[in-house]
Amino acid sequence: MQKKLTVQVACLALIAMPVFATQVYTKEEAVQIALEKSSDVQSAEQKLQSAQAQVSQSYGVAYPKIDLSATYARTFGVSDVRKKNTISQMLDETATANERILAGTLDGISYGMSAMGGFRWGTQVGLTATQILYAQGKVSSGTKIAKSFRRVSELSLENTKISVRFNVEQAFDQMIYLDSALQILEASKAQLEEHINYVRQAQASGLATELDVVRAEIQLDNLNSSLAKTQKDREVARNALLNTMGLAWNEDVSFSGELRDPTVENYPIPDTSMATIRSKRKELAQLNESEQMYQYNINIAKGDYKPTLVLGGSITYQNGKNRVFKWDAPDWDENISKQIYLNFSMNLFNGMQTRENVAMAKTDLRSTQIQKEAAERGIKLEMESAMNTLNDALGQISIRKRQVELATRNYELTEAAYKVGKDTQLNLLDATMELRSAKLDYMNSLLNWNSAYNALLKATGEF
């Protein structure tokens, strides 16, 4: 019967039951809300969209480029040239046919000489197309860099979600612990208040002294102080969890769940081999992609040693005689120009800038490789530390559970002896305090194990 009672008390402490809450969240609900509302996740999603746009942009460099241009210009200081029959108008009715023919010829010569001075209005409309045939390998390398950067952004988003989930679960477990601690403290308070009533009745009948009452009231005051502090800690923890979830602070919000107990259910230990961890840790995958990006940067820097070849063509309508609302019709031979060209360019000397750009690109690559090596060592240390903490926490759970059983039995025996006058009140109060501390220590050991287990899952890439 005693063992059954102890187990019931321990299980009661595991579960946080919300009271008078208008909104209750489970752990999975809290995680889902955080993933939807977290500013970190939203920022990572925007960066991923930008990376996708950069991939599309990089493909655009390989496609032909077509440009349309139109220019309508007015030249100041030049009068419009209008065709006039000035000489012909000087002839009278007596002029002969030969004179009129000669006057017409001179009118044309006069108009031509005036036109050589220029027209005030001019128009040009052109269509140009260019295609890069060879660009020192920069086009293909640029596309590969954009794809690698997109993959880095995808991994960053996944890693951000993992961090958000980890933070929410850690904060949620802290809330469950504090809710359970409040239940333990309130149960202990009710137990102590019952004892004070018993002592007061005993004092009235002459079986206890005022000192017995004072001692019990002092412990009750201390207990009330601990209870008030725990309530404030719970309020801060609740607001911190709501903030992590991306929600506003709300007094009517509560959380329902329980801490995992490895002595009740067997939770699998993840694979801790570095080969497996390398394949699952997002940070290492990001560094691998970054390493490829810097390798492509070296190729781009070396490309300045090579030539560029561009194929182009254009068709342009150009007429310097058009007026504002009156244009000459396009004429294939007179005012339309056509051309196709092949452009070859290659830098011969640029002050050794290309050599230094290659050197800097190689330095960036080596820095990333060093960072990856350091990250692997750090992850290995993180995993080993989490495993050690987990093993220690598991051992502490067994010890603390045994202490709860012993403290419960000690309290029952002491209380029974006190009521028949075979033990002192001090021993009873000590037994009450020890039982309360044992329960709180047991809950704390469960919290530590849950934190260590989450840390191990995260360190091995299983979270």
Q: In this predicted structure, what is the pLDDT of residue 61?
A: 84
Q: Which of 348, 313, 311 is nearest to 134 (CA)?
A: 311
Do 135 and 337 contact (CB within 8 A), yes or no? no
Query: Is residue 337 situated within a structural domain?
Result: no
* Confidence grade of residue 119 (pLDDT, cut at 50, 70, 90): low
How many independent structural domains does the chain possess? 2
Q: Is 315 domain-assigned? A: no
Residues forming a β-bridge with 395: none
What pLDDT, on the 0 to 100 scale, is given for residue 202? 83
Task: Please tell me whether residue 311 adopts helix, strand or coil conformation.
Answer: strand
- CA 59-64-65 angle, to 5 degrees, is 100
- What is the CATH classification number for the domain harbouring 262? 1.20.1600.10
Contact 192, 219 (CB under 8 A): yes
**pLDDT tens-digit readout, 279-334:** 999 999 999 999 999 999 999 999 888 899 999 999 998 887 766 667 777 777 77
Q: Domain check: are 298 and 434 in the same one?
A: yes
Confidence (pLDDT) at 198: 85
Same-domain check for residues 431 and 297 = yes
Residue-level pLDDT at 1: 34
**Does residue 439 have a pLDDT over 90?**
yes
353 C-beta neighbours (distance < 10 Å), count? 12
Binned at pLDDT 50, 70 and 90, residue 78 comes out as very low
Q: Is residue 314 part of a domain?
A: no
Residue 326: inside a domain:
no
Q: How would you label 66-85 residue by residue, b for 16+ Cβ within 10 Å and e otherwise?
A: eeeeeeeeeeeeeeebeeee
Whether residue 46 sits in one domain with residue 13: yes
Top pLDDT among 445 and 140 is at 445
Same domain, 274 and 360: yes
Q: Would the pLDDT of 107 be above 80? A: no
The reply to whether 108 and 178 lie within a common domain is no
Are 238 and 190 in the same domain? Answer: yes
**Residue 119 main-chain phi, psi, to 5 deg:** -110, 150
* Helix, coil or strand: residue 443: helix
Percent of the chain with pLDDT over 70: 87
Place of tokens 């290995």: 380
Q: Is residue 240 domain-shared with residue 211, that is, in the same domain?
A: yes
Q: How confident is the model at residue 49 (pLDDT cuts 50, 70, 90)?
A: very high
For residues 458 and 164, give the distance between their C-alpha atoms in angstroms, rounded to a whole number: 12
Same domain as 175, residue 231:
yes
In a domain, 344, yes or no: no
Whether 456 has a pLDDT exceeding 70, the answer reads yes
319 located within any domain: no
Asked if residue 387 is part of any domain, the answer here is yes
Pairing assessment for the beta strands 23-25 and 65-74 based on DSSP bridges: unpaired
- Judgement on whether residues 86 and 232 belong to the same structural domain of the protein: no
β-pairing, 23-25 vs 253-255, is parallel
Q: Looking at the structure, do residues 281 and 143 belong to the same domain, yes or no?
A: yes
Average pLDDT over all residues of the chain: 86
Where in 294-438 does DSSP place strands (E)?
Answer: 308-319, 336-345
Pairwise CA distance, residues 19 & 22, whole Å: 9
Residue 61 sits in the same domain as residue 86: no
Judgement on whether residues 143 and 93 belong to the same structural domain of the protein: no
Least confident range from 98-107, 299-308, 368-377: namely 98-107
Lookup result for tokens 């991923």? 48
Domain housing 247:
2-81+135-306+350-459
Instruction: Flag whether 335 is in a domain.
Output: no
Q: 65-74 and 121-135 as β-strands: parallel, antiparallel, unpaired?
A: antiparallel
- DSSP-derived 3-state class of residue 81: coil
Tokens of 265: 């259910």
